[in-house]
Structures are given as C-alpha cells and as structure tokens.
Amino acid sequence: MTMPTNQYVEVRNGGYYVAGTRIGLDVLVYEFRRGVVADDMFRSYPSIGSLAKVYGTITFILEHPEEIEAYLAGQDRAYEEIKKRYPLPPEMIEQFDRAKTELSAKKV
C-alpha cells in the first residue's frame, strides 16, 4: 500500500518525513499516540518550523490510518532486519524493545 504525501509529509530515502525536516513521520505518530499535544511536539522538535506544520502532519496521520499502520509495520520489519544484520548488546536491545512496547501499549 502506497501512502500519499502532501505539503506536510514527504517521501525521502525510502521513508516518510515531516516535509523539509529530518524528522520521521513515525516519530510524530508515536508522540501523538502517547497523547503528546501539538504545542509540546513543536517545542520538542522546533526544526519542524511551525505549529501549523505539526497540525498538518497530525491531520495527515488521522486521514490515512491504514497507510500509517502499514508504514509502521514496514518500519518494524526493517528494524528486525537491522537487528539481525547488526547485533547489538543485549542490554541495548532490551532498552529498545521496552520503549517500543511502551509506545505500542499507549496507542490511541
């Protein structure tokens, strides 16, 4: 499933990003699902450029739930592949997996 883009979200380097930034779309998806409000996202990621851009990205997320889920599943698969290719120390893997589990548990 291919996800569309708009003025707030772009495809680059095989991934989706907040347009004109290095911030992956998945970052804002997980922040949103954790209940972080737009103002706080903008404070955390000022390189987004404007609060309007944060709201535009959130709107994009809400308008494309199936595509977002497919994208996140693909990101998870890529993460698993990277873990296989480049093994990390067990304590680091535990930390990543714990954070991922906590984020998944807080889905909107």
pLDDT in tens, 5-21: 788 999 888 889 999 99
Using DSSP, state whether 105 is helix, strand or coil: helix
Residue 90's alpha-carbon distances to 13, 45, 47, in angstroms, are: 29, 30, 33
pTM for the full predicted model: 0.73
Domain ranges for the chain: 9-105
Measure the CA–CA gap between 69 and 83, rounded to whole angstroms.
21
Partners of residue 24 on adjacent β-strands: 17
Using DSSP, state whether 20 is helix, strand or coil: coil
DSSP string, 23-58: -BHHHHHHHHHTT--HHHHHHH-GGG--HHHHHHHH
Task: Quote the pLDDT of residue 1.
Answer: 56
Give the model confidence (pLDDT) of 67-98 as tens digits.
999 999 988 898 888 878 888 788 888 888 88
